[in-house]
């Protein structure tokens, strides 16, 4: 271990040129590139000290050139300086927070520059320090002064746009990342082209809200778009006769392909939902060319081989209607979430299969939520043809076998709640053997885990979560979870995320409204619970997140989390992502209002309505603590940064969408200050 980064230098009283090397003066360098500056770089003019390890008391004062720091690419800093004459090699050191001490970045180098990969969202930009050693030999080195990187922060944030950016496409409505952060899938649920399959004509805008998905990969040359993906049954041109007998051409639209996306850990399997797809097919690879079950929903599986993507399955629920209904399902703008029945008793409209989806780590298990499903079944694989519990919701589990995909289970909770919307959120453990399903419209007023259900519905839309486990191929209910304090309209269970082992579960409740801040405050401290004379402004829908942990077969709430700046309607908990290793939690509040940019800016203003924010929490020896407050490159009104987010397995990379961001650029490295394409959408990388 190095004892100091200000080492003594031996006194060498011979050879004038070697003395000059030890003095470390920058002599005669005329490298224009190494001294260039930019608006995003930080620099320090340094005067380094040298001293002797011998008994001599002599010392030499050396004049160091500037140390420059700039954002070179997403998540990458370039640290560079003028070459020091006769220096044999350099060492670059970093102190990440101004308190932890310096450690070397990479190996010894001979060139006067180095690139450092950073976790933008986890860097303490105000306090982080860099320093350089120039060495003649192993023991003969001199240090620069310390340099800060704060001014380079914004240029390390990645800014991704679709290849066919258009206003109102909502690029970033959904997203997911591979576990190593090198593959990113982004849904644009209101994209309008009529293309089908992979890399079709994306310039077309003739079919409203068919939806699209974009796959990006990180390679040697940075981020590039790898694929533009459309459904195999993007609605095609149809004809009918009007009342005058004239033929009219029209499109059936609004399938919303890309409503949710999920990637396997290696990024080679992708699931995409289209919650308003209308075919009456059942099961796997059925007839997708009709529109007889309005808003029934569908899921599409794609696989990557040698950088090429192909659709491998078209997935429907087992209780989609088996024959065409006489009901009018040709409308392109149906918004009803209610259900009706065909002659065989199955759901014909509004199940919204695919509202939420999640793949297991190996991509062989798929969970699908359908919060508009109406069965009154109160058991797994129960009567799915009943429609007596409107919008009670269901979840479906599919597995990939040697012969293809098949449905393994039809999931209902042991108590059905009309309007509960089971399946609004789903999450799988890494091995696919544990499933959590959110029921944010559940009404019971109980608290805790596996408590007996109350007989009344005294807490409307308070929400709940059910956890199910798989043994071999059989599923069973493991837990019924409520928060430690229940109140009206909390929407507990609206967002879910497991760690890889399935032993820690993050739950979002964007409607929660306590006045607490930070970690483990008082969840009952609602303005509505205080005396009138002591009643502050409400924190309605400020939102909360909760962590539950499994120990000895029992789930228990361990952490109650609020934003550091909670305010009414911020909707903290709208999105959550827990790292596979349980070290990092990201929570989105897409209606947060500050005008801050980057990391750890000023959160105490409301200058930009619904600009959105993300909060990063880290688990340490003393439990969980908020480590950073994250904003977009530009915090504009209604950008809704935090709509969707994902962290990598170790939490080192964060992707966040702002689906109403208005830049008109395409691809990577566009102009984030542009606002000429309203609600086009963007994704930010940290």
pLDDT in tens, 274-309: 999 999 999 999 999 888 899 999 999 999 999 999
The yes-or-no verdict on residue 150 having pLDDT over 70 is yes
Asked whether residue 8 is assigned to any structural domain, the reply reads no
* Residues in contact with 545: Cβ distance below 8 Å, sequence separation at least 6, in sequence order: 506, 507, 508, 509, 561, 572, 573, 576, 585, 587
Q: What is the pLDDT of residue 86?
A: 87
Instruction: Based on the fold, state whether residues 132 and 174 are members of the same structural domain.
Output: no
Domain boundary among 132, 155, 178: 155
Asked whether residue 311 is assigned to any structural domain, the reply reads yes
* Number of domains present in the structure of the chain: 2
Planar angle of CA 510, 514, 517, nearest 5 degrees: 90
Asked whether residue 11 is assigned to any structural domain, the reply reads no
Q: What is the pLDDT of residue 457?
A: 84
Asked whether residue 7 is assigned to any structural domain, the reply reads no
Asked whether residue 2 is assigned to any structural domain, the reply reads no
Residue 669: which pLDDT band, with cuts at 50, 70 and 90? confident
Instruction: Based on the fold, state whether residues 473 and 563 are members of the same structural domain.
Output: yes
Q: What is the pLDDT of residue 252?
A: 66
In whole angstroms, give the CA distance from residue 31 to residue 590.
46
In whole angstroms, give the CA distance from residue 62 to residue 46.
9
Instruction: Based on the fold, state whether residues 471 and 601 are members of the same structural domain.
Output: yes
Q: What is the pLDDT of residue 236?
A: 60
Instruction: Based on the fold, state whether residues 121 and 147 are members of the same structural domain.
Output: yes
> What's the predicted TM-score (pTM) here?
0.88
Instruction: Based on the fold, state whether residues 460 and 378 are members of the same structural domain.
Output: yes
Residue 250: which pLDDT band, with cuts at 50, 70 and 90? low
Q: Which residues does residue 434 pair with via DSSP β-bridges, in sequence order?
A: 469
Assigned token pair, 37: 């500056």
Instruction: Based on the fold, state whether residues 165 and 272 are members of the same structural domain.
Output: yes
Mean pLDDT of 358-367: 99
Asked whether residue 9 is assigned to any structural domain, the reply reads no
* CATH code of the domain in which 389 resides: 2.130.10.130
Instruction: Based on the fold, state whether residues 342 and 365 are members of the same structural domain.
Output: yes
Inter-residue contact 66 to 46 (CB < 8 Å): yes
* CATH code of the domain in which 107 resides: 2.60.40.10
Average pLDDT, the chain: 88
Q: What is the pLDDT of residue 218?
A: 97
* Residues in contact with 523: Cβ distance below 8 Å, sequence separation at least 6, in sequence order: 483, 484, 485, 512, 514, 516, 544, 560
Assigned token pair, 653: 């990379």
Asked whether residue 467 is assigned to any structural domain, the reply reads yes
Asked whether residue 291 is assigned to any structural domain, the reply reads yes
In whole angstroms, give the CA distance from residue 354 to residue 335.
16
Task: Catalogue the E-assigned strands of 166-297.
Answer: 171-177, 183-188, 212-219, 222-229, 237-241, 247-251, 257-263, 269-274
Q: What is the pLDDT of residue 9?
A: 28
Q: Among 148-152, 349-353, 567-571, 641-645, which stretch is predicted with the lowest mean pLDDT?
A: 349-353
Instruction: Based on the fold, state whether residues 140 and 169 are members of the same structural domain.
Output: no
Mean pLDDT of 663-678: 94
Instruction: Based on the fold, state whether residues 99 and 182 are members of the same structural domain.
Output: no
pLDDT in tens, 382-413: 999 989 999 999 999 999 999 999 999 999 99
The yes-or-no verdict on residue 238 having pLDDT over 70 is no
Domain boundary among 155, 175, 195: 155
pLDDT in tens, 405-427: 999 999 999 988 999 999 999 99
Instruction: Based on the fold, state whether residues 166 and 129 are members of the same structural domain.
Output: no
Closest CA to 96 of 132, 134, 126: 126
The yes-or-no verdict on residue 335 having pLDDT over 90 is no
Range of the domain at 129: 16-155
Assigned token pair, 574: 């709208």
How far, CA to CA in Å, does 162 sit from each of 71, 256, 368, 577?
23, 16, 26, 23
Instruction: Based on the fold, state whether residues 34 and 114 are members of the same structural domain.
Output: yes
Instruction: Based on the fold, state whether residues 138 and 272 are members of the same structural domain.
Output: no
Domain boundary among 133, 155, 177: 155
In whole angstroms, give the CA distance from residue 167 to residue 209.
12
Mean pLDDT of 1-7: 35
The residue ranking higher by pLDDT, 29 or 388, is 388
């Amino acid at each position: 271990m190095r004892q100091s980064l200000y080492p003594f230098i031996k006194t060498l009283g011979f050879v004038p040129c070697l003395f000059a090397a030890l003095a470390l003066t920058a002599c005669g360098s005329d490298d224009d590139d190494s001294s260039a500056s930019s608006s995003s770089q930080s620099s320090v003019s340094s005067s380094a000290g040298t001293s002797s390890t011998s008994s001599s008391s002599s010392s030499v004062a050396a004049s160091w050139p500037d140390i420059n720091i700039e954002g070179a690419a997403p998540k990458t800093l370039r640290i560079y300086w003028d070459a020091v004459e006769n220096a044999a090699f350099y060492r670059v050191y970093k102190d990440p927070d101004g308190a932890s001490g310096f450690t070397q970045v990479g190996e010894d180098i001979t060139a006067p520059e180095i690139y450092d990969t950073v976790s933008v969202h986890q860097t303490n930009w105000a306090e982080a320090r860099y320093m350089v050693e120039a060495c003649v030999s192993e023991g003969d080195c001199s240090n620069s002064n310390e340099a800060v990187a704060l001014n380079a922060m914004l240029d390390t944030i990645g800014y991704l746009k679709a290849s066919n950016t258009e206003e109102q496409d909502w690029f970033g409505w959904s997203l997911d990342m591979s576990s190593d952060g090198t593959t990113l899938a982004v849904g644009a649920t209101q994209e309008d082209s009529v293309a089908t399959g992979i890399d079709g004509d994306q310039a077309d805008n003739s079919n409203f809200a068919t939806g699209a998905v974009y796959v990006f990969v990180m390679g040697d040359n940075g981020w590039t778009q790898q694929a533009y993906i459309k459904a195999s049954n993007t609605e095609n041109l149809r004809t009918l006769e009007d009342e005058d007998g004239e033929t009219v051409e029209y499109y059936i639209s609004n399938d919303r392909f890309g409503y949710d996306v999920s990637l396997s850990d290696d990024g080679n399997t992708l699931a995409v939902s289209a919650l308003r797809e209308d075919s009456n097919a059942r099961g796997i690879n059925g007839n997708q060319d009709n529109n007889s079950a309005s808003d029934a929903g569908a899921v599409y599986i794609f696989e990557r081989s040698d950088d090429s993507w192909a659709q491998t399955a078209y997935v429907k629920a087992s209780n989609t209607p088996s024959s065409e209904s006489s009901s009018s399902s040709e409308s392109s703008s149906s918004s009803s979430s209610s259900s009706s029945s065909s002659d065989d008793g199955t759901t014909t409209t509004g199940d919204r299969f695919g509202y939420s989806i999640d793949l297991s780590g190996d991509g062989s298990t798929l969970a699908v939520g359908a919060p508009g499903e109406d069965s009154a079944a109160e058991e797994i694989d129960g009567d799915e043809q009943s429609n007596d519990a409107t919008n009670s919701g269901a979840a479906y589990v599919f597995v990939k076998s040697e012969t293809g995909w098949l449905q393994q289970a039809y999931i209902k909770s042991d108590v059905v709640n009309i309007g509960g919307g089971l399946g609004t959120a789903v999450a799988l453990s890494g091995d696919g053997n544990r499933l959590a399903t959110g029921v944010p419209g559940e009404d019971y007023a109980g608290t805790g885990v596996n408590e007996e259900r109350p007989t009344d519905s005294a807490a409307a839309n308070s929400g709940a979560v059910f956890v199910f486990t798989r043994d071999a191929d059989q599923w069973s209910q493991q837990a019924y979870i409520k928060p430690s304090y229940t109140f009206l309209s909390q929407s507990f269970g609206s967002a879910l995320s497991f760690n890889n082992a399935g032993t820690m579960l993050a739950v979002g409740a964007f409607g929660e409204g306590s006045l607490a801040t930070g970690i483990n405050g008082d969840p009952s401290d609602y303005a509505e619970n205080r005396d009138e004379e002591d009643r502050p402004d409400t924190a309605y829908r400020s939102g909360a997140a909760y962590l539950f942990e499994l120990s000895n077969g029992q789930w228990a709430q361990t952490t109650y989390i609020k934003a550091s700046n909670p305010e009414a309607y911020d909707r903290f908990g709208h999105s959550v992502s827990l790292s596979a290793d349980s070290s990092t939690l990201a929570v989105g509040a897409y209606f947060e209002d500050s005008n801050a940019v980057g990391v750890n800016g000023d959160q105490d203003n409301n200058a930009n309505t619904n600009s959105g924010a993300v909060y990063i929490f880290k688990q340490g020896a003393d439990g969980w603590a908020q480590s950073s407050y994250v904003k977009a490159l530009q915090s504009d009104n209604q950008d809704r940064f935090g709509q969707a987010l994902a962290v990598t397995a170790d939490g080192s990379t964060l992707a966040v969408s702002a689906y109403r961001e208005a830049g008109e650029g395409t691809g990577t490295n566009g102009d984030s200050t542009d606002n000429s394409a309203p609600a086009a959408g963007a994704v930010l990388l940290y």
